[in-house]
């Protein structure tokens, strides 16, 4: 039973990766490999900050910002550096590996005995904390995506993926 609950919890948390890949690959037609490097970058950021005594919530927010910066670098390499889409993503994803080791300071850092975002759920049965947090995060991310894709910026995002030439002709800056 524990294995099934653990798999469900991990699947929900990794489902957010699926949403990110869906946005870049399907909607924007931008095969971005950066996502595979930003998840470990976020993990390294969280672990490094938690071991230094920072709140797990603030550490998670910092990890989000670190991942967004890495994605922004990929976008800049493609739009301003004129590096092909796939290569710019691979470059940033590979760079994230070195950055992760620099952030952590070593190849392995333990969180045993440290407060994490799972700590408040210590009374739940084993692995149910991951399911609860996974459901919560998937719900929040889905709401944000629904709101974003219905906004003017989100619609410009969709149009840019569908037809960049038409998007430019109606005044959308596709960069």
Q: Show the tokens assigned to 149.
A: 């894709």
Taking 80 as the threshold, does the pLDDT of residue 104 lie above it?
Answer: yes
Taking 80 as the threshold, does the pLDDT of residue 1 lie above it?
Answer: no
**73 close to 92: Cβ distance less than 8 angstroms:** yes
Taking 80 as the threshold, does the pLDDT of residue 74 lie above it?
Answer: yes
Q: What is the CA radius of gyration of the chain?
A: 18
Band (pLDDT 50/70/90 cuts) for residue 130 is confident
pTM attached to this predicted model: 0.79
H/E element, 110: none
Band (pLDDT 50/70/90 cuts) for residue 143 is very high
Taking 80 as the threshold, does the pLDDT of residue 156 lie above it?
Answer: yes
**97 close to 33: Cβ distance less than 8 angstroms:** no
| Residues 105-122: tens digit of each pLDDT | 888 888 888 888 877 777
Closest to 34 in 3D by CA, of 111, 87, 81, 82: 87
> Where do we find the tokens 């924007």?
28
Taking 90 as the threshold, does the pLDDT of residue 139 lie above it?
Answer: yes
| Residues 15-60: tens digit of each pLDDT | 887 887 788 788 877 777 787 888 899 999 999 999 999 999 999 9
Closest to 118 in 3D by CA, of 108, 104, 128: 128
């Amino acid at each position: 039973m524990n294995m099934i609950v653990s798999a469900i919890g991990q699947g929900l948390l990794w489902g957010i990766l699926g949403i990110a890949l869906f946005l870049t690959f399907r909607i924007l037609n931008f095969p971005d490999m950066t996502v595979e490097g930003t998840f470990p970058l976020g993990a390294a950021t969280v672990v490094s900050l938690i071991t230094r005594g920072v709140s797990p919530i603030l550490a998670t927010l910092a990890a989000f910002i670190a991942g967004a910066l890495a994605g922004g670098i990929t976008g800049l390499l493609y739009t301003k550096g004129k590096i092909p889409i796939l290569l710019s993503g691979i470059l940033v994803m590979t760079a994230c590996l070195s950055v992760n080791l620099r952030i952590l300071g070593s190849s392995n850092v333990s969180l045993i005995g440290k407060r994490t975002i799972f700590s408040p759920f210590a009374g739940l049965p084993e692995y149910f904390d991951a399911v609860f947090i996974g459901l919560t995060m998937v719900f929040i991310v889905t709401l944000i995506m629904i709101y974003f894709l219905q906004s003017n910026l989100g619609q410009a995002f969709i149009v840019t993926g569908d037809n960049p030439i038409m998007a430019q002709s109606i005044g959308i800056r596709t960069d």
